[in-house]
Each structure stands twice: as structure tokens, then as C-alpha cells.
């Protein structure tokens, strides 16, 4: 009965790793992977995560019962505090409802399903370009997906004018997806004063902000700094949604731990919104897994572990920033034609190199360097050892 099913293409991002794994070359480098790697190219489990897991394992009172539909209550409270700030008026006034969801993706999807059912304007504007999964997550939830201009290939920076024009002509009430920090794939973020202009425009038009926060702390090494954009919107008393992921900043990728928060106008509304979130979640996966959320809650509620986390987080962010500088300096030293300063200006895990599809294909074929065809490279996949090989490849691609 399934004979007519056609072969689907590989996921454009995860497919890069599939191709990398098949390549027998000893010099191959995977810059497609969206996960942190050490200087030795290995995945990293944070020390503080190991410590938290030890505590959990050794606690005989811990059982494996189902969590409530919206997840672990402590985790939810601590997650809201982490993104909105411990002094957030919205939290103080009980205007926030938070549900533990399946990492960033699951949080986006639950938020999207809720909006498709309960929000009057079913159009969402996402940046062009954006993380490849956004379109599908929102479209499959039943929202109509449109784009707003974001990246300017000419400057390899923000197309701020285009962004403002597109949001200004969006229908009033439309939902707008915003990357809280470390925009993926471009690494280009608005400045704080640009965020303020975006906020004013969106509030004046009644556009609903939906923040995707997949890199809090991972961009600058500072958890508060990376949440500034979100906090600006919450400070004005208006509504917003925020999807948080602990994949990158706690290295909990496969634990699938994240949270969806909805900031409402009043505590009353927040209670009703939560009741509807439960109706969205229950038939999807009933309730979320317990282990990852317990790790996060253990770390966030203990000041000593929290501090250890921030130190380890900063070390990851700093290594990535240092890779940016090493790559930039090496390209300069080699005299590779072009202005490569965007490598050190861009923020977060990725650099949008500006290399085109043909150049990427050439680098993969001749140098065994793997990346997405849009020229995005993961700085976390790079090390001092692999920088010279990458520079040789880029040099050959742009001069060849």
C-alpha cells in the first residue's frame, strides 16, 4: 500500500552531516553542524550538567512519573526568569504563562498551533533568510507564512530600511518572528537602538512579536545581554511569545528541553491561555520528558551551579569568537581577495560567508569541507587546526 510513496529529499541542514559522514577523506571538516564542538572537534557535555545529573541519579526521591501537560513547574518559572529577567514586571504580575516543550522547535510549534487556533490574524512574517525549519513549522500549524527583508548581501549586514518598510506594510495584528539574538543563518542582529525602532513600529501597528531564543548566552557569553531584545518588548507592557531552547546554551541538544512563554495583558488572561495551551499539547505528545527539564531546573535554582554554568557558557561563546578572529586574520594574511570583516562582525554560532552555491560545491568537492549551500559555516565546528585548510579552500574558491 505504500509503493507509491516517493523518496523525500534529505533535510537541507541535517543532510550536510549525512554527506560528511559518507566522505572517507581524513581532512574532511563539518561546518554544517549546528552544535558546539571543542577545539578537538568533539561534542561537549558541560561539567555542570554532569554534576546535576549525578545529583538527580543519587536522589532516591526521584521517580519517573508523568509530568503535568505543561511540564515541570520549577523549570517553567526559572525559564521565564531567565529570559524575561528576575525583576520582570510581567512575571511579578503573573501575566506570563510558560509551558515546557520539546526544545526550541517544539516550543515554536506549540506557540504556532495556539496562535492558529486562538489569534485573529493568521499571517506570520519571518525574516529572509531564516532558519530553514521556520517556514514548515508555521505553515504546518496552519499559519500563512510571509517574509520580511532582513539581510543585505551587499553589506553583509542588516537591511534595516527594508525590514522597517516590510513591517510597516504588514497587515495590522500580523505575527512577526524575531530571532532574539544571534540570527541564524546570517549572524546579523539589530543594534539596541534598531531594536527600539522595531519595537515602536510593531507596537504602533499592533504586530505580535514571537521571539525565537535559541542562543541566549551563546552569542555574547552574557545571558542578560542576549535577552535584551525580548526584555525591551516585555517592558512596554504588551503581549509577546517566546520560544526558548536549552540545546545550545546548556548543550542539551538531544534532551529536547525548551519552553514556550506567552506574555499576556493580565493574570486573568494568562490563566485562560494556559488552559488552551494544555488542549494544544495533550493530543500532540501528552506531556514533555522529565530528565532534561530536571537538569535545567537543578542548575538554575542553585546559585553555585548557575555560576558554574555561566562560566562554561562564556567559555563556549569565547571559543567561537576566537575562531572568528583566527579565520579573519588567516584570510587577511593569505591575501584572499574580498572584505572579510563580516566574519568578526557577525554574532553567534554561524558566519554567513557570502560564498555562493558553486563556491560551496567546489570547496566540498575539492577540499572536503561541508556546509549548507547558502554559504553558512558553523564557527563552532572550526578549530585552530582546521582554520588553515578552510582558508586554503576559500582562497581557491574565490580566486579559482
Q: Which amino acids are annotated catalytic?
A: 131, 212, 248
104 binds ligand PMP (CB under 6 A): yes
Residue 248: name the closest of 192, 303, 181 by CA. Answer: 181
Shortest approach of ligand PMP to residue 265 CB, angstroms? 27
With 0-12 CB in 10 A as exposed, 13-18 as middle and 19+ as buried, what is 87?
exposed
Return d(Cα 100, Cα 110) in angstroms, integer.
Answer: 10
Task: List the interface residues with ligand PMP, window 268-327 (CB under 6 A).
Answer: none
Give the torsion sign (CA, 106, 111, 116, 117): positive
Residue in 212, 226, 255, 374 binding ligand PMP, rule: CB under 6 A = 212
Q: Output 160 or 253, the one with its CB closest to ligand PMP.
A: 253
3-state DSSP assignment of residue 261: strand
370 binds ligand PMP (CB under 6 A): no
Cα R_g (the chain), whole angstroms: 21
Q: Output 111 or 221, the one with its CB closest to ligand PMP.
A: 111
Residue in 69, 177, 207, 214 binding ligand PMP, rule: CB under 6 A = 214
User: What are the φ/ψ torsions at residue 107 (nearest 5 degrees)?
Assistant: -65, -40
Q: Output 105 or 298, the one with its CB closest to ligand PMP.
A: 105
186 binds ligand PMP (CB under 6 A): no
374 binds ligand PMP (CB under 6 A): no
Return d(Cα 28, Cα 34) in angstroms, integer.
Answer: 17
217 binds ligand PMP (CB under 6 A): no
Residue in 131, 195, 211, 218 binding ligand PMP, rule: CB under 6 A = 131
Grid cell in block for residue 221: 557569553
Q: Output 27 or 140, the one with its CB closest to ligand PMP.
A: 140
User: Which string of DSSP letters, residue by residue, matches 322-348?
Assistant: HHHHHHHHHHHHHT-SS--THHHHS-S
Q: Output 245 or 351, the one with its CB closest to ligand PMP.
A: 245
258 binds ligand PMP (CB under 6 A): yes
Return d(Cα 301, Cα 73) in angstroms, integer.
Answer: 12
Write 388-391 long-range contacts (CB < 8 A, 24+). 388/330, 389/27, 389/29, 390/29, 390/31, 390/327, 391/327, 391/330, 391/331, 391/334, 391/336
Shortest approach of ligand PMP to residue 100 CB, angstroms? 13
Shortest approach of ligand PMP to residue 226 CB, angstroms? 13
Residue in 34, 209, 288, 381 binding ligand PMP, rule: CB under 6 A = 34
Binding site for ligand PMP (CB under 6 A): 34, 103-105, 131, 179, 184, 212, 214, 245, 247, 253, 258
Amino acid at each position: 500500500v505504500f509503493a507509491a510513496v516517493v523518496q523525500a529529499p534529505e533535510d537541507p541542514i541535517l543532510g550536510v552531516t549525512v554527506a560528511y559522514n559518507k566522505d572517507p577523506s581524513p581532512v574532511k571538516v563539518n561546518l554544517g553542524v549546528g552544535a558546539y564542538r571543542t577545539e578537538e572537534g568533539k561534542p561537549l557535555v558541560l561539567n555542570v550538567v554532569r554534576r546535576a545529573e549525578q545529583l538527580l541519579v543519587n536522589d532516591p526521591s526521584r521517580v519517573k512519573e508523568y509530568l503535568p501537560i505543561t511540564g515541570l513547574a520549577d523549570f517553567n518559572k526559572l525559564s521565564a526568569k531567565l529570559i524575561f529577567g528576575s525583576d520582570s514586571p510581567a512575571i511579578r504580575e503573573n501575566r506570563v504563562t510558560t509551558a515546557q516543550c520539546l526544545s526550541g522547535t517544539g516550543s515554536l510549534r506549540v506557540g504556532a498551533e495556539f496562535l492558529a487556533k486562538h489569534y485573529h490574524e493568521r499571517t506570520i512574517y519571518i525574516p529572509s533568510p531564516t532558519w530553514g525549519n521556520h517556514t514548515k513549522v508555521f505553515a504546518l500549524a496552519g499559519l500563512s507564512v510571509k517574509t520580511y527583508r532582513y539581510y543585505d548581501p551587499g553589506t553583509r549586514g542588516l537591511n534595516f530600511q527594508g525590514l522597517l518598510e516590510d513591517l510597516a506594510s504588514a497587515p495590522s495584528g500580523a505575527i512577526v518572528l524575531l530571532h532574539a539574538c544571534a540570527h541564524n543563518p546570517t549572524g546579523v542582529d539589530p543594534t539596541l537602538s534598531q531594536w527600539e525602532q522595531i519595537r515602536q513600529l510593531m507596537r504602533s501597528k499592533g504586530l505580535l512579536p514571537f521571539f525565537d531564543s535559541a542562543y541566549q548566552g551563546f552569542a555574547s557569553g552574557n545571558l542578560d545581554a542576549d535577552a535584551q531584545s525580548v526584555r525591551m518588548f516585555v517592558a512596554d507592557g504588551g503581549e509577546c511569545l517566546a520560544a526558548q531552547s536549552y540545546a545550545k546554551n546548556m548543550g542539551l541538544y538531544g534532551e529536547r528541553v525548551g519552553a514556550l512563554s506567552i506574555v499576556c495583558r493580565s493574570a486573568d488572561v494568562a490563566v485562560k491561555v494556559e488552559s488552551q495551551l494544555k488542549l494544544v499539547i495533550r493530543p500532540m505528545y501528552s506531556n514533555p520528558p522529565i530528565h532534561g527539564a530536571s537538569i535545567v531546573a537543578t542548575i538554575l535554582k542553585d546559585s553555585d551551579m548557575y555560576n558554574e554554568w555561566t562560566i562554561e557558557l562564556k567559555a563556549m561563546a569565547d571559543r567561537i569568537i576566537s575562531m572568528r578572529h583566527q579565520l579573519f586574520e588567516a584570510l587577511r594574511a593569505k591575501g584572499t581577495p574580498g572584505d572579510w570583516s563580516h566574519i568578526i562582525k557577525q554574532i553567534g554560532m554561524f558566519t554567513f560567508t557570502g560564498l555562493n552555491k558553486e563556491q560551496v560545491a567546489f570547496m566540498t568537492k575539492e577540499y572536503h569541507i561541508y556546509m549548507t549551500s547558502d554559504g553558512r559555516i558553523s564557527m563552532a565546528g572550526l578549530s585552530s587546526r582546521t582554520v588553515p585548510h578552510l582558508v586554503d579552500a576559500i582562497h581557491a574558491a574565490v580566486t579559482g
